[in-house]
Amino acid sequence: MAAANEMTSGEFPEAVMPSCETREVLVGQKALVTGASSGIGRAVALALARAGADVVINYSSSPEAAEEVAAEIRGLGRRVLAHQADVSQEDQVHAMFQRMFTEFGTIDILVNNAGLQKDAPFDEMTLADWQLVLNVNLTGQFLCAREAVREFKRRGVVREVSCAAGKIISMSSVHEVIPWAGHVNYAASKGGVMMMTKSIAQEVAPYRIRVNSIAPGAIRTPINKDAWSTPEALKELYKLIPYRRIGEPDEIGRAAVWLASDASDYVNGITLFVDGGMTLYPGFETGG
């Protein structure tokens, strides 16, 4: 590993772009994916591993499911570690990163994926419903991103590994821009994720740290089973999706691999919508 990065604010690392070939794969990189025992997190962890990364699988409550993902990754010949932690708890997040540094040495890629919904009509939403969603979806991403940025700044760029000192991918949602009645806490958390991601990106870009979001549309996972588990529900859902199909978790995995790789080295602070056009105002499809 390279010596600690002693760059101070106002200085820039030596330009690595011209001599740094585009890497499609993530061989030798160490990734941490939160909420990786199911759905999108699981698919992202597997996609990163297929692209060559060693992966820490964070999970909150299902060791069996996390172990299944870990076994699959081991089968690909990568190193893997399953670690239980509630991402909204500062001490648990700190302990998770310390364990990763002890066992893997460092971190190159953080995918802040863990998230949940606690829906209610606005006037019936309890403070506990509000706080749970904000704590996991927004504060959880803050706590994990802060640990990762500390390590990226400490270590700096390792040219043999990546052009960047580190990459963070925030799992946002189309609801970072689409208001969502009945889900005010969730939409507020994802709006927060958008602005947090862009602000961190702006602050740490001079250290060659890239911070981007993925905003999935409707992806077939446990979080939104009601929206796709019957033909009637799917028919309703397709009214919102110009591309007229639901997305699959691996489609988010492939987007994450690209954002984590040097193929996207000049991409920083964006939201990559992977939504079949859900953000294209489908109500105007027929001319409004």
Q: Which residues are catalytic?
A: 186
Least distance to ligand NAD, CB of residue 13, Å: 31
Closest to 82 (Cα-Cα) out of 103, 51, 106: 103
How many angstroms separate the CA atoms of 64 and 69, rounded? 9
How many angstroms separate the CA atoms of 78 and 170, rounded? 23
β-partners of residue 271 are: 213
Helix (H) or strand (E) holding 152: helix 140-155
Q: Which is nearer to ligand NAD, 115 or 192 (CB)?
A: 115
Q: Which is nearer to ligand NAD, 5 or 113 (CB)?
A: 113
For residue 45, state whether it binds ligand NAD (rule: CB under 6 A).
no
Structure token digits, residue 74? 């081991």
DSSP letter (8 states) at residue 58: E
β-partners of residue 191 are: none
Which residues lie below 8 Å from residue 180, measured CB to CB, with a gap of 6+?
A: 186, 187
Judged by CB under 6 A, the residue of 158, 219, 256, 272 near ligand NAD is 219
Judged by CB under 6 A, the residue of 81, 169, 188, 218 near ligand NAD is 218
For residue 197, state whether it binds ligand NAD (rule: CB under 6 A).
no
Judged by CB under 6 A, the residue of 29, 60, 162, 197 near ligand NAD is 60
Judged by CB under 6 A, the residue of 18, 77, 121, 222 near ligand NAD is 222
Least distance to ligand NAD, CB of residue 286, Å: 25
For residue 185, state whether it binds ligand NAD (rule: CB under 6 A).
no
Least distance to ligand NAD, CB of residue 262, Å: 25
For residue 248, state whether it binds ligand NAD (rule: CB under 6 A).
no
CA dihedral of residues 112, 114, 117, 123 (deg, nearest 10): -50
Structure token digits, residue 43? 């698919």
DSSP letter (8 states) at residue 75: H
Name the residues that contact ligand NAD, by CB under 6 A: 34-35, 37-41, 58, 60-61, 86-88, 113-116, 136, 140, 171, 173, 216, 218-219, 221-224
